[in-house]
Every structure is written in C-alpha cells, then in structure tokens.
Amino acid sequence: MLSNVPRATRAILVANIVVYLMQLSLGEGFTERFALWPLGENFEPWQVFTYAFLHSPANPTHIFFNMFAVFMFGSRLEHFLGTNRYVIYYAASLLAGACAQLAVAQATGAVYSVIGASGAVFGLLLAFAMFFPREKLMLLFPPIPMPAWLFVTLYGVLELTLGVTGSQDQVAHFAHLGGMLGGALVILIWRLQGTPRRPRF
C-alpha cells in the first residue's frame, strides 16, 4: 500500500510511526524532551520541528487521524506540487504552527508541552482547499459532503472559535491555525513569484 504513496509523504508516514514506537518504548521522558515547550520552560530550538513527529502514546487515534490526513491530502498534494515544493510546504506549515503556539503561550503565560503533526496537517488542508476547491470532502459526523473550500473554511472558523473561547484546552488550536497561516503565506509567495501551476523538479 505504501509503495503507491509518493516518496516524501511515505517518508513522513514512516518517520511518524517509527517515532511513535520509540515513544512507546522509551517512555514519557523521551516525549517531553522533544515536545514543544514555551520559551524559558524546557524549550530547546529543535522542538519547533520535532514536536510534529510526536503523538500521544495514550491515545492511538491521535496519530491515526493525523497520518490518515497526511496520506489522503499529502499524497495528492505531492503529486500536484512536486516532491521538493511539497516538502518545503509541509516544513513551513509545521514551523508556522510551532511559532503560533509559542506566541500564544508567551502572551497567555500558559505552561504545557505540545505534540502532534496537526499544524502541518492543517497546512495540507489549506493547500488542498486552495488547489482543489471544488473537490468534495465528507464529514464523519454527520456524513455531509461539501466542497473542500467550504469544509476547510468552516474548520478554520471552528478552530479559531475554540481557541479564543478556550474550549478543548488539551488541543493546541492556535498551532493548527498557525499551520494554515504558514501554508497560505507559502502559496502567496509562490503566486507572487509566478510559479507555474504544476511546477517541475
């Protein structure tokens, strides 16, 4: 099955699964060392990257849904953008998610670590909606099909609402929004540079 997945998406999937197995084997200390901490609170520079390859060992659905999204949306986007540009986009989204989370933690004084590929995943969702706006996506609950642009817009508004109101305080909503913002900026730069619709590498 993975043999049909483009190489960068496949590498991301494998890396996340391997790291997850390491988390299960090495325990909480490993996870906390590479999770994203607020500035001044166990923060290390590498965490702005490594946090996106960690997931909750106690909640297998965390990694399952993130990797399912990478598989579904990442594969399509890598074929569309080309591998090099796709990797740049994914990295920019996860770094933007980290920066947004650090900024919010600094502003609010919140002290907790963040893990998960969701910042990058929300960047992929944003890109999918921009490049394939009329593609139909199906909600799980309720199972209502809708165009990608509408699905992602509603999802973004929901994340903003949950983040501002403090609902689901165990979820880093602003990291998700940061991933979308970082992705949007990358696409804007490409368009200003006159990047071909289907770049070649």
The pLDDT of residue 6 is: 94
**CB contact at 8 A, 114 and 141:** no
**Topology (CATH) of 2-192:** Rhomboid-like fold (1.20.1540)
pLDDT > 70 fraction of the chain, expressed in percent and rounded = 85
CA dist list (Å): 95 to 2, 16, 143, 178, 199: 26, 16, 32, 8, 23
Residues 121-142: tens digit of each pLDDT: 999 999 999 999 998 887 665 6
* Alpha-carbon gap, residue 85 to 164, rounded angstroms: 32
Binning pLDDT at 50, 70 and 90, where does residue 195 land? Answer: low
Mean pLDDT, all residues of the chain: 86
What is the rounded end-to-end Cα distance, in angstroms, of the chain? 25
Asked if residue 13 lies in contact with residue 1, where contact means CB atoms within 8 angstroms, the answer is: no
Name the helix (H) or strand (E) containing 112: none
pLDDT reading at 179 higher than 80: yes
What is the C-alpha to C-alpha distance for residues 36 and 13, in angstroms, rounded to an integer?
Answer: 20
Specify the pLDDT at position 176: 84
Q: For residues 177 and 34, which has the higher predicted lDDT (pLDDT)?
A: 34
Least confident of 16-30, 49-63, 166-180, 181-195: 166-180
The DSSP code sequence of 9-69 is HHHHHHHHHHHHHHHHHH-HHHHHHHSB--TTSS--TTHHHHGGG---TT-HHHHHHHHHH
Domain coordinates in residue numbering, the chain: 2-192
